[in-house]
Structure 1
Amino acid sequence: MPSRPSWTNVRPTPVSAPTPKIPLPAARAIVDCAVYVDGARLPGRYTHRSALAEVRERGTGFVWVGMHAPDEGQMQDVAETFGLHELMVEDAVHAHERPKLERYDNVMFLVLRTVVYVPHDSVATANEIVETGEIMIFVGPDFVITVRHGDHSELATVRTSLEQNPERLVMGPFAALHAITDHVVDSYLSVIQLVEQDVDGMEELVFNPRHAIAVEHIYLLKREIVELRRSVTPLGLPLLQLTQPAGGLVPKEIRRYFRDVRDHHTIVAERIAEYDEVLSSLVDAALAKIAVQQNTDMRKISAWVAIAAVPTMVAGIYGMNFEYMPELSFHYGYWTVLGAIATVCVGLFALFRRNNWL
């Protein structure tokens, strides 16, 4: 008899510990870091620490650090250098924030939602129309830090355009804040012009009598408009706050520029609200169109059922197998009944056709 194995001497397989995550340096998330003095960019390459030290040693100018999707460790390194509040750091890492403006002592924190139009052949076949991203902006007395989330939220063109305009850069960090905000709001204008074409195309499809549009396509477009509204409309309050003299952080000249940005934002918000109302009306129109089509189909079905009921009734009567029934012994009885059925059916068809039921 074979001996049973002894489990007392079997050692459990050691469970491997999870591989520790190697922290990445903040430089991996920094896209660009520059020092601006008297409206000009200083030559050379800087880290975020050396750039801030250069500005504070000179006592003039400001630092602009651009970051893309930093992790918690990378953002914490930058936050310790520039003295950012931990709540701002948390928002910058995890993203998915609504547009807002907050102030922590002498540092202003602005959240912007970016939008980009997704090209497609037709609104009836599109799965996505707008794509969103985020830009977080930290503005202090001598620095600007931008944190981007999303592949389409690049700011290289904004930085280049501002560097070619030294008289604006002389105004300090809030000049960069205005340039970024103006760029984002201008992108809103470009997107809604393209979305307007989709709304107009959907309107033509709904009211085209020869085209059957699925309500799901309208729901998709309305969902994208809702996403666009959530990204754009809440920015109105932060822009209003940036145009107010309360707080004293934003220079008077920059507040004038922000008024122009706010006017553009108001136009965008009104257009989005208009598209939302149009799509709600299109949903009602499409549902009414479906109801009319269903009513037409039911009339056709009812007409054919009425026509089919005639031979069914006659066949049912003569199928009762009674011995004494009319016309059973008549030589032409079968053909007479068939002729009567055909006459009645043709008459019903002509009647329903004249009343537009068939």
Structure 2
Amino acid sequence: MSMAGNLRKVTGLGKVGGLRTVARLTRRHPRVDLSHPARSPLGSAVVNCVTYKDGARVPGGSDLVDAVEQVRKRDDGFVWLGLHEPTDQEFAGLAELFDLHPLAVEDAVHAHQRPKLERYGETLFAVFKTVCYVEHQELTATSEVVDTGEIMVFIGRDFVITVRHGRHGSLGPLREELEADPRQLAKGPAAVLHAIADHVVDDYLTVTDAVQEDIDQVETDVFAENGARADPGRIYQLKRELLELKRAVVPLARPLLDLATRPIRVVDPEIQAYFRDVSDHLLRVTEQIAAFDELLNSILQAHLAQVTVAQNEDMRKITAWAAVIAVPTMVCGVYGMNFDHMPELHWRYGYGLVAGLTSVACLILYRGFRRHGWL
């Protein structure tokens, strides 16, 4: 099959009316959630395919191959192709058309990558981990707090390819925001890359704010009156979810630093200033996560200390009552020996006297333990 045939199979768009069909679907559902399993309004891995020139959409009726040919012939504008969880077969034609490196294609198709930035000739390949806060009525030892996905981005001189994995992180609203700012979009594919990075890091900030509320709730429960009875499993669960968030956030620092400082041919120097701003936001998130981790460690240690104190208090109460009960037990043990010659054994008031002395001794022990806080 020819290259054009492969791409038509990939996109599900025919030679005539392909981009017009996409545009019509986009207008009909301007903010449609393209999350799994409804992969895209086109019924394939393709979410959207649009050509931009001077920051504005270019209407047309050609398919992807023709759109790329027109952009390269004019040497102006770029094509933005969005995909959701494509297969190897679906991506094969795209790799040929845009001359994508096989290693980058493999990463984009199979996902499960760390955030990174790689250069393959004239093509830049970036991986972002997306995060989403999972709403829950009450935090338990098994609650899912953070859900992660991935966005892979290929950018060249005249194209942007975004590959999304996961149930969230739709780029539809982001595309609309960029189209509402033609001046920024006119700066080329690097502007799209910056917008995606900024969008991802903003989601990090939103998630960390939500996680902080969970941590505050756990902290309140631990330091409550009956904090020793709080479930420590919730603390461990928060630490596990925080670790997953950390794996998504921390490795992104180096790629953003490279985009902000190192000269890259497909990234305009003017755009690099925007990446520095995103890097600053990421640093704030990283510091928040580190602070959360330390705070959870402190909460866990405080909870363990409370449990130890509660156990010590219980042991003191048990010991005090055992001491009080030991007095009548001793007296009963002595008089239970059944000897004939026992003190006051045959005296009419002997039983009352012994019972009274036993009660007084128990009362003295009880008041002493109460005064020292054991009872």
Q: Tell me how far 1:254 sits from its aligned partner.
A: 1.1
1:112 aligns with 2:96: no
1:204 aligns with 2:220: yes
- How many residue pairs match? The answer is 334
Distance in 1 (CA, whole Å) between partners of 2:110 and 2:123 is 20
Alignment partner of 1:338 out of 331, 355, 359: 355
**Who is 1:86 aligned against?**
102
Alignment deviations for residues 300-342 of structure 1 (CA, whole Å, 9 cap, x no partner): 1111222222233333333444555444444444444433333
1:150 aligns with 2:177: no
Given that 1:34 and 1:45 are in contact with CA atoms closer than 8 Å, whether structure 2 keeps it comes out as no
Given that 2:151 and 2:163 are in contact with CA atoms closer than 8 Å, whether structure 1 keeps it comes out as yes
1:137 aligns with 2:153: yes
Q: How does 1:129-278 map to 2 (within 5 A)?
A: 129-212=145-228, 213-278=230-295
Given that 2:49 and 2:64 are in contact with CA atoms closer than 8 Å, whether structure 1 keeps it comes out as yes
**Who is 2:31 aligned against?**
none
Q: SS of 2:261's equivalent?
A: coil
Aligned-partner residue type, residue 74 of structure 1:
E
Q: Which moved more, 1:199-208 or 1:270-279?
A: 199-208
**Who is 1:305 aligned against?**
322
Alignment deviations for residues 213-267 of structure 1 (CA, whole Å, 9 cap, x no partner): 3322222222222222221111110000001243433111111111111111112
Alignment deviations for residues 269-302 of structure 1 (CA, whole Å, 9 cap, x no partner): 1122222222222222222122111111111111
Given that 1:123 and 1:198 are in contact with CA atoms closer than 8 Å, whether structure 2 keeps it comes out as yes
1:26 aligns with 2:10: yes
Distance in 1 (CA, whole Å) between partners of 2:211 and 2:168 is 17
Distance in 1 (CA, whole Å) between partners of 2:234 and 2:105 is 39
Q: Equivalent pairs: percent with the same residue?
A: 51
Flag structure 1 segments of 5+ consecutive residues without an equivalent. 1-24
Q: Tell me how far 1:208 sits from its aligned partner.
A: 2.8
Alignment partner of 1:103 out of 111, 119, 140: 119
Given that 1:239 and 1:258 are in contact with CA atoms closer than 8 Å, whether structure 2 keeps it comes out as yes
Distance in 2 (CA, whole Å) between partners of 1:145 and 1:313 is 88
Q: Tell me how far 1:44 sits from its aligned partner.
A: 4.1
TM-score, length of structure 1 as denominator length: 0.85
Cα 1:289/1:211, change in 2 over 3 Å: closer
Q: SS of 2:162's equivalent?
A: strand
Given that 2:155 and 2:266 are in contact with CA atoms closer than 8 Å, whether structure 1 keeps it comes out as no
Alignment deviations for residues 160-198 of structure 1 (CA, whole Å, 9 cap, x no partner): 111122222221111111111111111222222222223
Flag structure 2 segments of 5+ consecutive residues without an equivalent. 1-8, 12-43
Q: SS of 2:308's equivalent?
A: helix
Given that 1:243 and 1:259 are in contact with CA atoms closer than 8 Å, whether structure 2 keeps it comes out as yes
Q: SS of 2:150's equivalent?
A: strand
**Who is 1:280 aligned against?**
297
Aligned-partner residue type, residue 46 of structure 2:
I
Q: Tell me how far 1:99 sits from its aligned partner.
A: 0.9
Given that 1:120 and 1:126 are in contact with CA atoms closer than 8 Å, whether structure 2 keeps it comes out as no
Aligned-partner residue type, residue 181 of structure 2:
N
Cα 1:324/1:61, change in 2 over 3 Å: same
Aligned-partner residue type, residue 125 of structure 2:
F
Given that 2:227 and 2:303 are in contact with CA atoms closer than 8 Å, whether structure 1 keeps it comes out as no
1:53 aligns with 2:37: no
Q: SS of 1:209's equivalent?
A: coil
Distance in 2 (CA, whole Å) between partners of 1:46 and 1:190 is 40
Cα 1:341/1:73, change in 2 over 3 Å: farther
Cα 1:339/1:46, change in 2 over 3 Å: farther
Given that 1:29 and 1:68 are in contact with CA atoms closer than 8 Å, whether structure 2 keeps it comes out as yes
Alignment partner of 1:77 out of 93, 100, 114: 93
Alignment partner of 1:294 out of 292, 311, 321: 311
**Who is 2:25 aligned against?**
none
Q: SS of 1:314's equivalent?
A: helix
Aligned-partner residue type, residue 218 of structure 2:
M
TM-score, length of structure 2 as denominator length: 0.82
